[in-house]
Structure 1
Amino acid sequence: MALGFWQEVNADRWRSKTAVVNASAADRLACIATVRVDRLTPEVVREAVESLSPYVARQAVNAVKGAVKHARSLGYEVVPATVSMPSPRPPETAQRALSVEEVQALAAQIGPLHGDVVELLAFTGLRVGELAGLEVRDYNAARSRLSVIRAVSWPRGGAVVGEPKTEAGKRTVPVIGAARSVIERRIAERPEEDRHPYAPLVLGPRRGARFNPNNWRRDAGWKAALDALGLGRVRLHDLRHTYASLVRRSGADIYVLQKVLGHREIATTIDRYGHLYDDEIDELGASLEAALGGSHGQSVATEQ
């Protein structure tokens, strides 16, 4: 059994996003696509992914491990060390959270046609693919909620609509006033025929097309707007970090943050945003100091 067979057997069973990622990884592994799984040692796999970027290498190694595990479940001989080999860890990217004033200034600099996307991302915490997957029916005006039930990916430039990567990604998020006004204005200002429940909530420049971040950056003049405001390098994903910072400042605990961001594991939330809760350690120390100091004082008084 080889990688190509594994992909053919499972392609119809995978969610669309998983299929896209694994197909892309398999394309990069053409050099070992016909190698039998019992000969796929960690050394062979590492050599095959050596020239790939850290992110693609991680996807490729995970694809190999998936194929080997599948082969083992079917009774094929495999190399145990390959099943348990660690996946390459991409370098951590420094988080950047904008202030509310910076978000509003950036949206204004870009202009009304495209700038409100900045506010939507910063005030909902959605991933870019989740924003693109929203449809009119996902907005509940009565409850001020958005239902996140699909996501878009762009393999080789084409849009693929599928489910969020994990079950935790399917969630509802609160819609605050700034985001609500953007959503309702976008729906109200479009032609009647584009307001039906299955229409994309955020339309691209072409009639009826979904939002595409690559086209949006170009049309919005993203880099020029950042330069004009002196903000330096800011990624669209940093607007999600901005939302996490705002959630923390609102007083929400880290479990609420996990839920609204759609993280499957609390460990992921802690790993990425635990620093936002460092002040609670100081508060805990002060509270313990007060409690211990008070009880110590009481015991001394009793002894006397």
Structure 2
Amino acid sequence: MNTAVRLCYRADNPCAAVRLPRNQRAGDDMVVLEPEDLDLILDNLLEHYRPFIITLVGTGMRFGEATALHVEDLSLDAHPPTIRINKAWKQDGNRQPFIGAPKSARSRRTISLSPDLADMLRKLTAGRRGTDLVFVNAAGRPIRNNTFWATHWTQAIAKAQNPVDADGVPDPDARRLMKRPRIHDLRHTHASWMLAEGMDMFTLSRRLGHETYATTDSRYSRLMPAQQLVAASVAAAALSRLRPRHPL
């Protein structure tokens, strides 16, 4: 409906004040990728955008935060190297994009980088001015979510799910992507990988820029392998004290 207004098919949007219902679908909306899954996506993505995707999954930044980064926000020679997040893309009353404050006060944060990620960003930004955007599209303009999703992300996912050989013939023996992740799932993937490597929930909450610890805990507590192992051991110990029963 917003598109219809923008194209002058309608004078107003009758859905503007309508709240969407809460998601009641069964199943899990969160898609967490394995490194092998990400490799498949990167292999089918235009090379220009690979550093952008690697940065998203390596930092857990939101799309609007990453695409608003300026070169001066990077401290690649610090110990450890860091990214300072203090802005994000927004939309004004006319749905025009502009760079403004991030989502919340907690969204203003500093994220540490791995050495490999810092090296990649150092090469990407070499010779650039501090006020230049770190990530731009192939034409040198800001990356827009909807355009990137439709033009690059969905195509890379489709190719990873349906691999072909050098002649363009479907290859039934090639490894294929069995998941259908959204771009935002790169943020969930980052959280999952951090927890798997032993990061505590409080540190993860600050790294992701969540307003409260409870937000992080409610979304990712089930992904913590150590706690799951402890819970399984406790459950096993409790069950072992049950009185033995004869098989049916």
Q: Into which bin does the TM-score normalised by the smaller protein fall?
A: 0.7 to 0.9
Matches within 5 A, 1:66-215: 89-91=22-24, 94-143=29-78, 144-154=81-91, 158-188=96-126, 192=127, 195-207=128-140, 209-215=141-147
Separation (CA, whole Å) in 2 of partners of 1:160 and 1:25: 22
Separation (CA, whole Å) in 1 of partners of 2:49 and 2:41: 11
Indicate if the aligned counterparts of 1:123 and 1:178 stay in contact, CA closer than 8 A. no
Indicate if the aligned counterparts of 1:126 and 1:240 stay in contact, CA closer than 8 A. yes
Larger Rg: 1
Task: From the two aligned structures, give the one with the greater helix fraction.
Answer: 1
Q: Residue 153 of structure 1: CA displacement? A: 2.6
Aligned match of 1:28:
16
Q: Residue 212 of structure 1: CA displacement? A: 1.6
Aligned partner (choices 258, 264, 268) of residue 215 of structure 2 = 268
Which protein has greater RCO, CA pairs closer than 8 Å, 6+ apart?
2
Secondary structure in structure 2 of the residue aligned to 1:133: coil
1:185-230 alpha-carbon deviations (Å, 9 max, x no partner): 3212xxx5xx1111111122333x322222323443x222212222
Structure 1 residues 91 and 158: CA distance shift in structure 2, 3 A: farther
Aligned match of 1:40:
none
| TM-score (normalised: structure 2) | 0.72
Paired residue type of 2:143: F
Aligned match of 2:156:
225
Separation (CA, whole Å) in 1 of partners of 2:13 and 2:226: 42
Structure 1 residues 153 and 233: CA distance shift in structure 2, 3 A: farther
What 5-or-longer segments of structure 1 have no aligned partner?
Answer: 1-23, 30-48, 55-88, 291-304
Q: Residue 133 of structure 1: CA displacement? A: 1.4
What 5-or-longer segments of structure 2 have no aligned partner?
Answer: 1-11, 162-176, 238-248
Structure 1 residues 287 and 118: CA distance shift in structure 2, 3 A: same
| TM-score (normalised: structure 1) | 0.60
Matches within 5 A, 1:241-256: 241-256=188-203
Secondary structure in structure 2 of the residue aligned to 1:146: strand
Indicate if the aligned counterparts of 1:103 and 1:118 stay in contact, CA closer than 8 A. no
Most deviating of 156-165 and 122-131: 156-165
Separation (CA, whole Å) in 2 of partners of 1:202 and 1:103: 19
Aligned match of 2:168:
none
Secondary structure in structure 1 of the residue aligned to 2:210: coil
Secondary structure in structure 1 of the residue aligned to 2:39: helix
Structure 1 residues 236 and 243: CA distance shift in structure 2, 3 A: same
Number of residue-to-residue matches in the alignment: 205
Aligned match of 1:53:
20
